[in-house]
Structure 1
Amino acid sequence: MKYMILQGLVAAALAVAFTRHFDGDKAFRVKPQDEGQVELVKYLSSMVQLDFWRPDSAHTIVPQTDVDFRVEADQIKTIQTLLEQNGMQYEILFQNVQEGIEKQFDGKPNSSNRRYSYSKYNKWEKIVAWTANIAAKYPKLVSRIQIGTTTEERPMYLLKVGKQRSAKNAIFIDCGIHAREWISPAFCQWFVKEATKTYGKDKLMTKLLNSLTFYILPVLNIDGYVWTWTADRMWRKNRSNSSNTNCIGTDLNRNFDVQWCSIGSSNKACSEVYCGPAAESEKETKAVANFIRNNIQSIKAYLSFHSYSQMLLYPYSYTYELAPTHEELNDVAKAAVGALSSLYRTNYTYGPAASTIYPTSGSSADWAYDKGIKYSFTFELRDRGKYGFLLPEYLIKSTCKETMLAVKNISSYILRYVS
């Protein structure tokens, strides 16, 4: 009886954490067979506000590719009827999105009194305190650098991890550019934990940290991440109001100065892939771009972590043309995916971003590559849609452990062939 009461209290606490609720909302998966069915999905999105999970907008839907989207409760009957009338098969990934949100947590409250947990999703307040604590705990290995502030004036802290006082060869890693992709910041925290705890014990990690510097940005889109905890779990963009509309937010991964606001992005502020009023218009984008520009001579690789799809992508996103170093990037990605899959046999796809997932412009990975960072990769972490953005906490550990193998594999390559 006591357990049932406690369980009820925990569920209630989780339920009231968000201002916006998704009771009765469903997440659908369809697979358009031809251009006619692609046009049907696009028509539905123009008639009803669909929250696209994969791809991230209607513009990039192509035949024979899964399309995942959330439908609000009062629109479900309309969508199902139109899909059925047009002979389009569908699968329901979530019968009730709100239940999926609540089941994402393991049911044990992550209170401020408890030891910092790397196998739980942590609020920004805990993460920012952790950045200070980890730097204080490992002063010879970790230092904290503020690279800017967000739209809402939150400090953007980057962790410099490694034994070298001045970086000769560095790898820049960012997580959480899209607010609702919680598994991404969880990985950045996990990486720092593994680096600090296994240095001097794990031979490869010790070698990497002795010779390379890792710049880790635990959460790039801090304001958006906070908003997913306090108001809207499905929020994607940042929280700037850079238009003359009531629509808030810019997609930070469409805001970098590379083929800005062309393919796979929108100049409409209400779009989930809004590119912003100008390239690098957003404080978060500008802070990252400035730091990389100021350290461009030492940064040899750029790794950006997203979810979901289980993919390892490399440039280009903005064109279907192959990058100049395509063959080498493909070899590195293949080896990294092999390392990742060796632990739990998780199946990852790899390849050029535009053809492997969908085309986009203004992405951080393309920008970094075109700035001369030869090894530029984007990870799309677990899963492939069963949980989507709502990956349960019990899968954090396994996701991070396998991803560490891929990152160490790429880092080893950098150490062998670049330094």
Structure 2
Amino acid sequence: MYEVSMMDRQAGRRLDYSMLENNNSYYEVYSRNGASAHILVHPDAQADILKLLNANMMNYKIVHNDVGLWLQRDFEMNQKLRNLYPYQGKLGTERYYSHDEINQFIEDLAKQNPTRVEVKTVGKSFEGRWLKTIRITNGDGRANKNVILVDGGFHAREWISPAAVVYGINELVNNYEAHAQLLQDYDWVILPVVNPDGYEYSQISPNTRMWRKTRQPSSRHCIGIDPNRNFDFHWNEAGASSDPCDDGYAGPKAFSEPETIVVRDLIHSLADRGKMYLTVHSEGSYLLYPWGYIESLPDTWQDLDEVARAGRDAIKAATGNVYKVGGSAILMYPAAGASDDYAFNAGFPISFTMELPSGRKNPFHPPPTDIDRLVKETWVGIVAMAQKVVKKYPLN
């Protein structure tokens, strides 16, 4: 199996994925925006896919000649790092951590900082894993502060997402003095891993590394749905699939998954105080705001744009990396039933999907050597956006 990066030869024109519809048992488009995409290609279809791309005037390059070999080496490295760096009360950036380790970390933080940190069990995944939020405050005991809600790990294979979220948790708790302003009139509520079943499944073996969905059976032959297509706001419209075997399957109904119900309930429980909802994904260096279901912008798009550009500018100044900012469907592709649209419609005035940057050697799956660089850069952007939100939406 190998990986192909393709791009439309006519600048500014969106890719037409219909050319691949009859070949979907032999490929997976797993990372895309409007004008480019990455495709995993089955060995039996390599010649045919390249012929198809040429016939449709696509520029392309082969990124990996043997994805299976890369996945095997990646798996072995992660197993080695787990043995070298066992969990000992803190989470570093040396490796990717399991869902249980992340839950243990936030529990330990709550024990060590009882006046500023509270961990709450908010639900259970399909396979019975506990979903827990951490609420971080400045410890002054004032109720009814504004709220910033953050989550990660919607898509199982996007390991850098929980890593970045956990890094932010550590900064807010253990580097409190540097971030006191962000906690003066605001509480942060964070769910590090929305989809723990998929996340754990993606770590079992090289063969499961590319898993994206949840793990609840969706048909006789297929498992899981895309949790970021399962929210009841323009559910199962553009950009969502009705095929239970598709990676973008929206589910048999909105909120069919216990994991998305948890996020829904969090959003509604905090909407009266919530000022920013941020969901962290990968990959591509994007700060995306509503709408995702349609190529259009809400009336308050300038508020969204102002906050997103603060994050973009801070990241550019710190690292030189340039994020693209704009409406989700406009910059990338339609994705109906997503959590950011849902949170915005529920009352969060600022709602973003943050697509984290590519790894140096592998665009979609940054190796452990890239974790430290990426999570620190991500935090720079999150802090800048939070500072803008705190100023823009003071506590009444």
- Provide TM-score, normalisation by structure 2: 0.90
Shift of 1:355: 0.5
- The alignment status of 1:27 with 2:27, answered yes or no, reads no
For 2:191, the equivalent position in structure 1 comes to: 217
Q: In the alignment, is the contact (CA less than 8 A) between 2:8 and 2:57 conserved in 1?
A: no
Distance 1:278 1:388 in 2: 32
For 1:207, the equivalent position in structure 2 comes to: 181
CA shift digits 1:196-242 (9 cap, x unpaired): 22113x1xx01212321111111001100011011400000101114
Question: Out of 166, 170, 195, which is 2:147 matched to?
Answer: 170
Question: Out of 185, 190, 200, which is 1:226 matched to?
Answer: 200
Distance 2:78 2:266 in 1: 37
For 2:48, the equivalent position in structure 1 comes to: 78
- The alignment status of 1:92 with 2:62, answered yes or no, reads yes
For 1:308, the equivalent position in structure 2 comes to: 283
Shift of 1:345: 0.5
Distance 1:290 1:87 in 2: 46
Distance 2:325 2:275 in 1: 20
Distance 1:399 1:416, change over 3 A: same
CA shift digits 1:366-385 (9 cap, x unpaired): 00001110000110001188
What is the DSSP-based 3-state SS (H/G/I as helix, E as strand, rest coil) of the residue aligned with 2:203?
A: helix
Q: Which amino acid aligns with 2:20?
A: L
Q: In the alignment, is the contact (CA less than 8 A) between 1:310 and 1:384 conserved in 2?
A: no
Q: In the alignment, is the contact (CA less than 8 A) between 2:124 and 2:258 conserved in 1?
A: yes
Shift of 1:349: 0.6
Shift of 1:38: 4.8
Distance 1:295 1:89 in 2: 46
For 1:329, the equivalent position in structure 2 comes to: 304
Shift of 1:255: 0.5
Distance 1:37 1:365, change over 3 A: closer
Distance 1:298 1:337, change over 3 A: same
RMSD between aligned residues: 2.3
What is the DSSP-based 3-state SS (H/G/I as helix, E as strand, rest coil) of the residue aligned with 1:396?
A: helix
What is the DSSP-based 3-state SS (H/G/I as helix, E as strand, rest coil) of the residue aligned with 2:364?
A: helix
Q: In the alignment, is the contact (CA less than 8 A) between 1:248 and 1:270 conserved in 2?
A: yes
Distance 1:292 1:114, change over 3 A: closer
Distance 1:110 1:357, change over 3 A: same
Q: In the alignment, is the contact (CA less than 8 A) between 1:182 and 1:389 conserved in 2?
A: no
For 2:322, the equivalent position in structure 1 comes to: 347
Q: In the alignment, is the contact (CA less than 8 A) between 2:150 and 2:190 conserved in 1?
A: yes
For 1:190, the equivalent position in structure 2 comes to: 167
For 1:42, the equivalent position in structure 2 comes to: 18
- Tell me the number of residue pairs that the alignment of Structure 1 and Structure 2 aligns: 383
Distance 1:193 1:36, change over 3 A: closer
Distance 2:359 2:200 in 1: 25
What is the DSSP-based 3-state SS (H/G/I as helix, E as strand, rest coil) of the residue aligned with 1:280?
A: coil
Distance 1:71 1:126 in 2: 34
For 1:375, the equivalent position in structure 2 comes to: 350
**Between the two proteins, what is the percent identity of the paired residues?**
30
Distance 2:154 2:132 in 1: 14
- Provide TM-score, normalisation by structure 1: 0.86
CA shift digits 1:132-184 (9 cap, x unpaired): 21221222221111111111111101111112543410100000101111100
Distance 2:384 2:144 in 1: 20
